[in-house]
Structure 1
Amino acid sequence: MPPPFLAGVELTGNLALRPALEEDEAFIQLLYSLSRDDLRLMPGDSHFVESLIAMQYRAQRQSYSASYPRAYHLIVEKQGQQIGRILVDFSQDRMHLIDINLMPEARGQGSGTAAIKALQGAAAKAGSRLTLSTYHSNPGAKRLYLTLGFKVEQSDELTEKMAWPSL
């Protein structure tokens, strides 16, 4: 069953969003690990690098939990198979996309676009804005967000804050 803010919002491409369960933890950890090829490029012992990735994962979870204690943890499924996860915080005045991550083989297939469009639909239905941040080092994500109608509202050395609809 989807979270209440997604009730009645259509998803395309045989996709579903559902709340993450305890049994999804191994998948979520694997998904994070697969997104950290940057750390695997470091010289050194592979066991050390894998332990560093695991430590980074735990730090990210703690940071998200502290910053967004009421965030929804969602699993993205395609035809019943886990392909990604989304963290989204929903308050009265805005919905904030904290993080979205898809399995490498699911990227570039339209699943991320469909999931973000579903969040846009939920935000529009609630009369809220959908906000997010993206790193300057991820131009592909920025391109996707701009294509989906997001506008850059603020920029710093590392990130750009974007919103839909923009003010």
Structure 2
Amino acid sequence: MPTHAPAAGGAPAARTLPHLPRAAANGLAFRRIADADMGFLSALYAATRAEEVAPLPWSDAQKAAFLDQQFQAQHAHYMEHYPDADWLIAERGGAPAGRLYLERWPSEIRVIDIALMPDVRGQGLGRAMMEDVISLAGAGGLGVGIHVEKNNPAMRLYERLGFTPREDKGVYWLMRRDAD
């Protein structure tokens, strides 16, 4: 597979893209993020937090500004703490549809983040991506780890895929699926 231009943040993208055949069979293609994707990624972040901010007594503009600020902080944190990660945009029909951020460690592949836009959720795409990550990890004898908010509806999917809570992190569970 080809390598791509430097990822956002200036880090070179020397590795090939991870092989994600189930996601591809479901119409997803992956590429590394670029600076031009920041608007989409901010909108994706906002879409994942829309229910949280809906009851706040703020104007739509205040909510949008808050969510963009939170996205910028999250993005900076990810880039600082996971400099060697695979920062991937999931595209469907040539348009951005989600993100998949992966870090490879000696004992596991850590799913830093996985998210899809609302219009493509519920179609098995997240499951396909996670099954691909599990296969990728399994090929190297690795487990898979992910932090999951305790009220995240995807928790049921992760449990069906063999993930179990390993550590209580307050609002998150650190979940892990050991290597087969």
TM over 0.5: yes
Partner of 1:6: 18
Residue 39, structure 1, aligned to residue 57, structure 2: no
Q: Distance in 1 between matches of 2:21 and 2:145?
A: 20
Shift of 1:22: 2.5
**AA matched with 2:158:** Y
Q: Which residue of 2 aligns with 1:161?
A: 174
Which one of 103, 106, 129 corresponds to residue 89 of structure 1? 103
- For structure 2, the 5+ residue unaligned runs are 4-14
Q: Secondary structure at the match of 2:156?
A: helix
Question: Comparing both chains, which one has the higher relative contact order based on Cα–Cα distances under 8 Å and sequence gaps of 6 or more?
Answer: 1
Give the match's secondary structure for 2:21.
coil
Q: TM-score, normalised by structure 1?
A: 0.88
Aligned residues: 165
Deviation at 1:125, TM superposition (A): 1.1
* 2: CA distance, partners of 1:55 / 1:107: 24
2:39 aligned to 26, 35, 40, which one? 26
What is the TM-score normalised by the length of structure 2?
0.83
Q: Secondary structure at the match of 1:4?
A: coil
2:159 corresponds in structure 1 to 146
Segments of 5+ residues of structure 1 without an aligned counterpart are: none
Residues 47 and 5 (structure 1 numbering): CA distance in 2 closer, same or farther, change over 3 Å?
Answer: closer
Q: After superposition, what is the alpha-carbon deviation per residue over 1:39-79, rounded to whole angstroms, capped at 9, x for unaligned?
A: 23210222222211111111111111222121211111223
Q: Secondary structure at the match of 1:43?
A: coil
What RMSD, in angstroms, separates the aligned Cα atoms of the two structures?
Answer: 2.0
